[in-house]
Structure 1
Amino acid sequence: MILWLVAIAAAVALAGYLLAANARAYTRRVEAQFPPTGRFIDADGVRVHVREAGLEGLPRVLLIHGASSNLLELWGPLADELSPLHRVIAYDRPGLGYSGRAKRGAHLMASQAKIAAHVLEQTGKGAALVVAHSLGSSVALRLALDFPHLVSGLVLIAPASHPYPGKPAWWARLSATPVLGGLFTGLLVPWIAPARSAASVANNFWPAPVPVNYLEHGAVPLFFRPNAFRANGYDVCASSAEFGAQQPRYAELYTPAVIVTAEKDRIVSPKRHARALASDLPAAELVIAPDTGHMPHRLRTDLVLAAIRRVNEMTAARVEG
């Protein structure tokens, strides 16, 4: 009996060693394949990865990506289009991409907005138009609420903004669980998740097909590194409560805004979030991007660019008035 227990313990230890080695190898491999594309700044003690394009002095646009991604999610479809007439700034949200993460409170919207404010303060002067996707939209809203002098307008794409019923996805809850979360993200995620990512990505683009080479263009494999996956789990698990805490303040936000959403979205309900947000914000317009699921910025970039022009018009009208 004792020999059997020793053998089982040895097998478990060996499996853990091999899985940990695989996780380290996976991290080295994907970081070599998708290295940092920008520079690093210190934002309130956090090392933040920032990328910029366009001439200094041009009107500024800040891109804030959502959950399970990195700065390339919005940079890919938007930066080249915007940079001739704008100074485009994007950053990896805390713990994702190549940005570090504070040990405490990093999941709070107030903390995330403070990081965004530091990014703007260290990359130029004046207010910026903020373009944000999904969970990043809630960060953008909090940025406009807490640092109104830094935000001239908002373009919110498939926003996640309001509390929702039920629990977050099982993988997010498990990732955020003490001890077990570290084992799950550190041993199993890099081994299993990359092979299963295609189905998850397809849900984001439904009902449209996934664009060719999207996984590479968006550097999606970076997400399955243990630290990034766990950081994202904390953000997702805190999201509903954080949305609920700031929703009562939306009515005081007179920042010009355009919300771009699909009619149907398997990731974030347009009715519960985008349409509700359009009602809550005093100076918001709603644009429907047909058949784009959770990814209007990838499938109907033209509508997002038109929304940016529209917010610029709204901002100019306010100044003239």
Structure 2
Amino acid sequence: MLARLILLPLALLLMGNAPAASNWLSLDQLKAKYQDSQSRYATIAGLKVHYKDEGLKRADAPVLLLVHGSSSTLKTWDGMVPLLKAHYRVIRYDVPGLGLSDDVPDSVVAAATPAEIAEGLLTQLGVKKVTVVGVSSGGTLGVFLAAKRPDLVERLVISNAPSDPVDTSHLVPTPEWAAAQARAKANGYQDADFWSQFLSFFAGDGKRIDQATRLHFYDFNRRTPHKNFIAMIAKVGDAPKARAAMAAVKVPTLLIWGGSDALLPTSAGRTLYGYLAGAEPALVYLPDVGHFPPIETPQRFTTVMRAWIEAGVPSKK
């Protein structure tokens, strides 16, 4: 959804206007820095997909699948997982092409969809029922998966996901964010300040974004560019297809919307709410929060989500 910003390094690389190779981090370098004791890998569609499977281990434990957005990784959920794992089995993964998952070859782009990657992971892990929680384009993936597999997805939680192809022309950057974009365009490289300004601009309150988050956004977004690095991100670019999927969703659905999102304001939440009318969704606004509520206010997001899951829509046995 932020494709014009995200695709800049690749475009400049292909044009020959690329920064020194030392600025990039290889997948192996990223694994050396960020892989930890909870890291696991599943082979899906021929790709090694990095995931974590934490929390309750009993067979009847309720399962959450957490899906990040287009410039992010499974670390989007670092602030929430400690609050969730005493109550749920919590599965999260790096969308192929991002994080610590494999690059995506053309053959996989032609043969697999983003929803099928998530579906394949859940199948390998033996999950029969799941609540899918997605932020930004991760919410779009949740819609496609719920439409495709209503037998698998029992609930859907969506945060600040697009309802229609996104227009960024209304954005008015701060001077710092404008300078960072201009520098990236000139240098062919999105430096640490670029990603820091990105996070501050799209937050309701930039002071809530800690330095560790700013650092990992920078590191993962300087992964050596490859052509299909956002190919497995779910998109609404094909509006009729996306609208049909939204109309097909019938499972209980909750929208948790950052009301201070510069990209997708509250009106976008209301539009998505309407497109999901068949699910009879609930809509909760966090008025002072921006585009990434799970990052900016993990405690509040968790509180709202758990109340809805456990009190509002109890599991049907």
Which TM-score band (shorter chain)?
Answer: 0.7 to 0.9
- TM-score, normalised to structure 2, is 0.77
Output the CA distance in 2 between the equivalents of 1:17 and 1:244: 37
Are the counterparts in 2 of residues 127 and 152 from structure 1 also a CA contact under 8 Å? Answer: yes
Q: Give, in angstroms, the shift of residue 309 of structure 1.
A: 3.2
Q: Give, in angstroms, the shift of residue 221 of structure 1.
A: 1.4
Number of paired residues?
Answer: 284
2:197 maps to 199
Are the counterparts in 1 of residues 139 and 158 from structure 2 also a CA contact under 8 Å? Answer: yes
Structure 2: gaps of 5 or more residues: 1-15, 172-183
Q: Give, in angstroms, the shift of residue 300 of structure 1.
A: 3.0
2:255 maps to 259
1:280 maps to 275
Output the CA distance in 2 between the equivalents of 1:279 and 1:83: 32
| Matched residue SS, 1:164 | coil
Which one of 60, 63, 68 corresponds to residue 60 of structure 1? 63
Amino acid at match of 1:35: Q
Alignment partner of 1:150 is 2:158: no
2:86 maps to 84
Within 5 Å, which residues of 2 pair with 1:199-218?
199-215=197-213, 218=216
Are the counterparts in 2 of residues 65 and 92 from structure 1 also a CA contact under 8 Å? Answer: yes
Are the counterparts in 1 of residues 55 and 86 from structure 2 also a CA contact under 8 Å? Answer: yes
**After superposition, what is the alpha-carbon deviation per residue over 1:261-315, rounded to whole angstroms, capped at 9, x for unaligned?**
122312333313x211112223210000021111222333344222233134444
Which one of 136, 147, 163 corresponds to residue 165 of structure 2? 163
Output the CA distance in 1 between the equivalents of 2:108 and 2:62: 29
- TM-score, normalised to structure 1, is 0.76
Q: Give, in angstroms, the shift of residue 159 of structure 1.
A: 1.6
Alignment partner of 1:295 is 2:299: no
Within 5 Å, which residues of 2 pair with 1:1-321?
19-23=19-23, 30-35=30-35, 37-56=38-57, 57=59, 58-74=61-77, 76-104=78-106, 111-165=113-167, 189=188, 191-215=189-213, 218=216, 220-227=218-225, 231-232=229-230, 239-272=235-268, 274-281=269-276, 282-305=279-302, 306-316=304-314, 319=316
**After superposition, what is the alpha-carbon deviation per residue over 1:20-57, rounded to whole angstroms, capped at 9, x for unaligned?**
53145676655433235511001121210010111322
Output the CA distance in 1 between the equivalents of 2:119 and 2:50: 14
Q: Give, in angstroms, the shift of residue 244 of structure 1.
A: 4.3
Are the counterparts in 1 of residues 144 and 245 from structure 2 also a CA contact under 8 Å? Answer: no
The two structures, once aligned, show a CA RMSD in angstroms of 3.4
Are the counterparts in 2 of residues 135 and 160 from structure 1 also a CA contact under 8 Å? Answer: yes
Q: 1:54 to 1:240 in 2, by over 3 A?
A: closer
Q: Give, in angstroms, the shift of residue 242 of structure 1.
A: 3.5
Structure 1: gaps of 5 or more residues: 1-15, 170-183
Q: Give, in angstroms, the shift of residue 250 of structure 1.
A: 1.6
1:178 maps to none
